[in-house]
Amino acid sequence: MCLAMPSKVVEVMADDMAIIELGGVKKTISLGLVEDVVPGDYVIVHVGYALSKVDEEEALKTLALFAEMTAAESAPA
């Protein structure tokens, strides 16, 4: 089955539909399962529906955590 991918919302249309972009490809999907999505948001898209919104702040925290988890390498054991 198709994996879900984080995709950028470029346009919100009538009837909970939206146009998203992923890797340069645009697609029409449904926002019927999520709330408060505006253009510019990233959503996780699966079988034509957004399942959830990507939280930018949490994404940055995860990336910061990578740095933390790998930084210890140079510390003396």
- To other proteins, the closest distance from the beta carbon of 28 in angstroms equals 8
Six token digits for residue 77: 């054991």
Strand 5-12 to 17-22 pairing: antiparallel
The residue count for binding other proteins (CB under 8 A) is: 39
Q: What are phi and psi of 36, to 5 degrees?
A: 55, 45
25 interacts with other proteins by CB under 8 A: no
CA distance 65 to 16: 35
- Which residues of this chain interact with other proteins, rule CB under 8 A? 1-6, 8, 22-23, 29-30, 32-35, 42, 44, 46-49, 51-56, 58-59, 61-63, 65-66, 69-70, 72-73, 77
